[in-house]
Amino acid sequence: MLTQWQAITIKNLRMNYLRPFLIVLITFFVLIQLYRPVRNNSQSNGEKTLNQIYPVPKEVSQILSKACYDCHSNKTNYPWYANIQPVGWYISQHISEGKQELNFDEFGYYSIKRQKNKFKAIASQIEDNAMPLASYSRIHPEAELTKAEKELIVKWARSMSDSIQSFK
Ligand code: HEC
């Protein structure tokens, strides 16, 4: 049980601090909205995209576009809440890390060795259910791949990695 004195002190504390605290919090929230990350919104795809340098079956291409391109290409379809910070920062972080590891729009600039490794990595990431990131597929159900879709991508990626030299 609180003594009367304690109760009064707590009440005073609330009155004295709660309002300024809220004002600081709201001001902070408003201010961080001003720091908008640069958008991943390139107009052209470039000349060395995966689809330009290799024949990619239509089904494979469709799966990669719907499940991977938001983070692994030069063009992201942003959800509305990307306009709200810090959500936008979080999304932007994933995009820049994702693109650094693998960018389908710049695939042709990679060395053959790197391309081979990336195809292998695609197969293993899909097999391990590591990609697309869970935080993404939870909000984008269309990116949740079916068993058949996964098998298709894995098979394609493995065959690309095995046969890649013969294209050049
Ligand atoms: C929400 C963003 C996001 C989506 C969507 C996404 N990725 Fe990633 N991906 C990342 C990030 C971030 C990394 C680097 C950090 C890590 O591995 O977790 C990464 C790493 C990878 C790597 C590792 C590259 C390497 O060399 O080890 C591969 C391969 C990959 N992703 C493939 C895919 C494929 C295939 C899809 C679609 C089925 C996909 N990703 C969807 C964000 C994403």
| Each residue's pLDDT tens digit, 61-95 | 999 999 999 999 999 999 999 999 999 999 999 99
Taking residues 21-28, what's their average pLDDT? 95
Label residue 166 by pLDDT band (50, 70, 90): low
pTM exceeds 0.85, yes or no: yes
Q: Is 121 in the pocket of ligand 1 (CB under 6 A)?
A: yes
Contact yes or no for 166/70 (Cβ under 8 A) = no
Please tell me the distance between residue 36's alpha carbon and the centre of ligand 1 in angstroms.
23
Please tell me the distance between residue 85's alpha carbon and the centre of ligand 1 in angstroms.
23
